[in-house]
């Protein structure tokens, strides 16, 4: 085999594998998410009641927006207002990113 090709293939393959490993790394569960599962279900995918929305797979920007609105009193709900009150912007972003990548909302057909 041509020596250039002999060296190039493993280098290209290992760069590809490194990139693939990075891409599939799971988003870490934010500490603040522990309390959410009581109502929204583990990974936000199994709400306890019909008036509790499913968070899994919801748009990241939508989740973050909703949480900021609860926290800042623009969207009023006694339960979620209390849950969101102590959250920082960074915690809100982490929670929104986490729930957005969970599989939940799917199209059947």
Q: Do residues 60 and 97 lie in contact, with contact meaning Cβ atoms separated by under 8 Å?
A: yes
Is 43 or 95 the residue whose CB approaches ligand HEC more closely? 95
Binding residues for ligand HEC, total number by CB under 6 A: 18
Give the separation between CA 84 and CA 92, rounded to whole angstroms: 8
Which residue is associated with the tokens 């199209």? 107
Residue 14 or 35 with smaller CB distance to ligand HEC: 35
Q: Does 80 sit near ligand HEC (CB under 6 A)?
A: yes
Name the nearest CA neighbour of 44 among 31, 54, 32, 29. 54
| Member of 67, 71, 102, 104 binding ligand HEC (CB under 6 A) | 67
- Asked if 32 is part of the footprint of ligand HEC (rule: CB under 6 A), the reply reads yes
Asked whether the beta carbons of 104 and 44 are under 8 A apart, the reply is yes
Residues that bind ligand HEC (CB under 6 A): 32, 35-36, 38-40, 51-53, 55, 63, 66-67, 77, 79-80, 83, 95
């Amino acid at each position: 085999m041509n020596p250039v090709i002999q060296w190039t293939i493993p280098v290209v393959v290992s760069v590809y594998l490194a990139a693939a490993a990075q891409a599939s790394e799971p988003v870490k569960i934010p500490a603040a998410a522990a309390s959410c599962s009581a109502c929204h279900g583990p990974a936000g995918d199994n709400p306890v009641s019909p008036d509790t929305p499913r968070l899994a797979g919801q748009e990241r920007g939508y989740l973050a927006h909703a949480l900021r609105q609860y926290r800042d009193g623009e969207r009023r709900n006694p339960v979620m207002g209390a849950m969101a009150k102590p959250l920082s912007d960074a915690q809100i972003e982490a929670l929104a990113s986490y729930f957005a990548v969970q599989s939940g909302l799917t199209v059947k057909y």
